[in-house]
Amino acid sequence: MSALPGVEYAGASSIRGPLLVIEGVDGVGWDEVAAVGLDSGEVRHGIVLDVHRDWAVVEILQGTAGLRLDEVRVSFAGTPLRIPVGEGWLGRVCNGRGEPLDGGPPVSGRQHRDTSGRPINPAFREAPRDAILTGVSAIDGLATLVRGQKLPIFSVGGLPHLELAAQVAAQARVPEDASFAVVFAAVGITHADAAEVRDVLEERAAVGDLALFVNTVDDPLVERVVTPRIALTVAEHLAFDLGRHVLVVIADVTSYCEAVRAVAAARGEVPSRRGYPGYLYSDLASLYERAGRVRGRPGSLTQLPVVTMPAGDITHPVPDLTGYITEGQLVLDPELHVRGVYPPFDPLGSLSRLMRLGAGPGKTREDHLEIAAQLYAFSARARQVADLADVVGADALAPGEARLLEFAEAFRRDFLSQSRRETRSLEETLERAWTVASTLPRRELTMVSEAALEARYRPPGGDEGVEDASPDASWQSG
């Protein structure tokens, strides 16, 4: 049931954090939108979080700072939070509530949608397929992003995760000539970071295939809870109604979860792990599971959320629960960042579980999966050798082991590293992969076919590689 239109309730019984408690209400339901009028003429907006008998708990999106119990007048809309949807959001920059920050008029549309979203019927879901190319070699070559996938970036404070997310949003495309759009939700970022994101995405916004929602650290905490949902609602309409392939970037989810925890604490809920509410898993799933493909619809919704791990703890509730719901992870390595590698991509900690659905023969290039697997294998062996060198010293290594360290350096320098504004084609990425792999003798490339070796293997200087006679290196081929 909903409240009668035009009915206002004067006064409030209590204010606790971002929550306003109204007594004497009638016919108010959960998730209804509320308008809070003040004596000054200001109107703030809220959402009903809880209802019991004749009282309602309203979450104020703009915060409760400056409110007095005796001055508020609250009216209820009788519907959940809804926003206009359509292509009018593309090319616009808005705050976390969807209000313009670019000086333009408010976004309007013929249709309005509930920001809670509509769950995709599992019977109508299609498996993600086909690639989204990001222009970043580490992602395109080793952990390909697939349309309809959820692939988070795991990072720690101080690493360039926001820069990488913005670069992907600026450069991402689909290989064929298809309708593509990006929705970027910046959640709880600083003003300096917000300015940098807008600068990186300026060109894409000017083209008209980007919608940017910015929630900064000094915006009301509660706004962070609705920002990702507004962004996903816009993206769902573009993908499943208008047939676009949409990439949604959320940076970052940890800020969102901290806002959820703060609101739960204000409501007096019993905390679970590290103070987060017990429903955090289902709350995150309500965001992540809005990605996918729908049978009979040409579009797709792909998510690239950023998750910062406090103190680098991957068992922290936010990355831990995210890992259960999503299909892989892109992990950033602090050690590579210290070495000056950008992006500091950790290949052995990263994985795209759906890569085989979007890469390989008939998708990207016939040798893509093979050379990616070979680079992973060489990276694993090089890490073992590096650990051994730390103990016995590099001078004690066999020639074959030393070559693996040379491969690791070439891999970081010539494949992983690229500038923040550099867009690499998939062809260049794979050619770089073969160049790096070719620093080792041909006989070591055991994970690629003979046909691929004949076509792609090009050792430095045309030397096919000298067989290592050292018995100490025989373990490498085992």
Tens of pLDDT, residues 244-303: 999 999 999 999 999 999 988 888 888 898 999 999 999 999 999 999 999 999 999 999
DSSP for residue 446: T
Look at residue 343 and give its three-state secondary structure: coil
- For 371, the token pair is 């050379």
Residue 256's nearest CA partner among 233, 296, 288 is 288
- For 83-355, give the CATH class: alpha beta
Share the mean pLDDT of the chain. Answer: 90
pLDDT digits (tens, 9 = 90+) for 113-157: 999 887 788 899 999 999 999 999 999 999 999 999 999 999 999
92-95 and 210-216 beta bridge pairing: parallel
Q: Cβ-count burial of 102 within 10 angstroms (0-12 exposed, 13-18 middle, 19+ buried)?
A: exposed
The alpha-helical segments, DSSP class H, found in 106-220 are 137, 161-171, 191-200, 202-207
Residue 472: pLDDT above 60?
Answer: no
Helix axis angle, 223-236 to 280-288, nearest 10°: 30
For 17-142, strand residue ranges (E) read: 19-23, 32-37, 43-52, 55-60, 73-80, 82-85, 92-95, 111-114, 125-126, 131-132
pLDDT-above-70 percentage for the chain: 95
Asked if the domains 8-80 and 83-355 are classified in one and the same CATH topology, the answer is no
pLDDT digits (tens, 9 = 90+) for 35-62: 888 888 888 888 888 888 888 889 888 8
The overall pTM is greater than 0.85: yes
pLDDT of residue 326: 97
Domain boundaries, the chain: 8-80, 83-355, 368-468
How crowded is residue 158: how many other Cβ atoms within 10 Å of its Cβ? 9
> What length is written for the chain?
478
- For 109, the token pair is 């549309």
- Residue position matching structure tokens 């000017």: 206
Of the segments 45-54, 218-227, 412-421, 464-473, which one has the largest average pLDDT value?
412-421
Which CATH architecture group holds 8-80? Beta Barrel (2.40)
55-60 and 43-52 beta bridge pairing: antiparallel
